[in-house]
């Protein structure tokens, strides 16, 4: 709506390792976004919300089994404090059990504007935290890492670069891989010729329509060869269907 103030993008991260989050994001695109007040980041350590004098926030799982489980009380208190500070946020728990995070999910996360990311450790977190505070569970892939901090960094970086004004060139995000359901086309820079190869002639000719066609075809070719599963999900235009046919013919010749 015209005249409506855009809410600043904000991430609150509940983590046992706040320095890991802050130090990693203090560089590059995210670091610049924070310096220019396009992104607000705050961390919350569950150890600050435990009654245990030693700062312990985990215990053995009921029913037995290996490892430790993060306790519900310090986590829930940290989340509630983050909610108060950020004025009603969407809570996402980083776990391999969640819905797969991808470019589409990054675009959806951007619309929330304020997100609390819950980074677990050890064997996981008490289920009561999920039942009472978590809005959704998010996975960055079908593999297991030691904690939710690195997945949280991936989510923040992927979402942050979609924020208007964060990238130097506004067209950069729209040309990223997955933005249109395809992998990005090959990129080249100067010199146009060296001992390692040649830049395709079409990129040197200045014909923008031919360059656009070449880039689309090479995006399709790369996706066809490396991620054919993406093509199965994509509704192809007539031009893309023609180019795919050309690519298949070229690959089989």
Q: Which of 73, 157, 176, 184 is catalytic?
A: 176
Q: Is 152 helix (H, G, I), strand (E, B) or coil?
A: helix
Q: Which of 73, 107, 123, 180 is catalytic?
A: 123
Structure tokens at 239: 């031009």
Active site residue 161: yes
Burial of 181 (0-12, 13-18, 19+ CB in 10 A): middle
Active site residue 176: yes
At residue 193, φ and ψ (nearest 5 deg) are: -150, 135
Cis peptide, bond prior to residue 129, ω within 30 of zero: no
Q: Which of 61, 96, 186, 200 is catalytic?
A: 96
| Neighbouring residues of 63: CB distance < 8 A, sequence distance ≥ 6 | none
Q: Which of 10, 105, 121, 161 is catalytic?
A: 161
Q: In what order do the strands lie in the sheet with 114-119?
A: 39-44, 9-14, 114-119, 90-100, 136-139
Which parts of the chain are beta strand (E)? Answer: 9-14, 39-44, 58-59, 69-70, 90-100, 114-119, 136-139, 193-194, 197-198
H or E stretch including 119?
Answer: strand 114-119
What positions carry a catalytic annotation?
96, 123, 161, 176
């Amino acid at each position: 709506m015209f005249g409506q103030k855009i809410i600043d993008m904000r991430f609150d991260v509940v983590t046992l390792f706040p320095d890991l989050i802050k130090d990693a994001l203090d560089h590059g695109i995210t670091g610049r976004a924070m310096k220019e007040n396009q992104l607000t980041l705050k961390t919350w350590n569950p150890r600050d919300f435990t009654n245990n004098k030693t700062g312990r926030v985990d215990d053995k799982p009921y029913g037995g089994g290996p490892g430790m489980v993060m306790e519900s009380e310090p986590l829930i208190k940290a989340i509630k404090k983050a909610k108060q500070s950020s004025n009603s946020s969407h809570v996402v728990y980083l776990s391999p059990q969640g819905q797969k995070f991808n470019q589409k999910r990054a675009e959806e996360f951007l619309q929330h504007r304020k997100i609390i990311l819950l980074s677990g450790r050890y064997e996981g977190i008490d289920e009561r935290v999920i039942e009472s505070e978590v809005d959704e569970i998010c996975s960055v892939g079908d593999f297991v890492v030691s904690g939710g901090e690195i997945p949280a960094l991936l989510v923040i970086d992927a979402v942050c670069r979609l924020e208007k004004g964060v990238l130097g060139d506004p067209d950069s995000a729209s040309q990223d891989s997955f933005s249109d359901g395809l992998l990005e086309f090959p990129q080249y820079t100067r010199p146009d010729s060296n001992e390692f190869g040649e830049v395709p002639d079409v990129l040197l000719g200045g014909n923008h329509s031919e360059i656009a066609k070449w880039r689309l075809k090479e995006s399709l070719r790369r996706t066809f060869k490396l991620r054919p599963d993406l093509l199965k999900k994509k509704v192809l235009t007539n031009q893309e269907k023609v180019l795919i046919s050309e690519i298949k013919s070229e690959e089989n010749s």
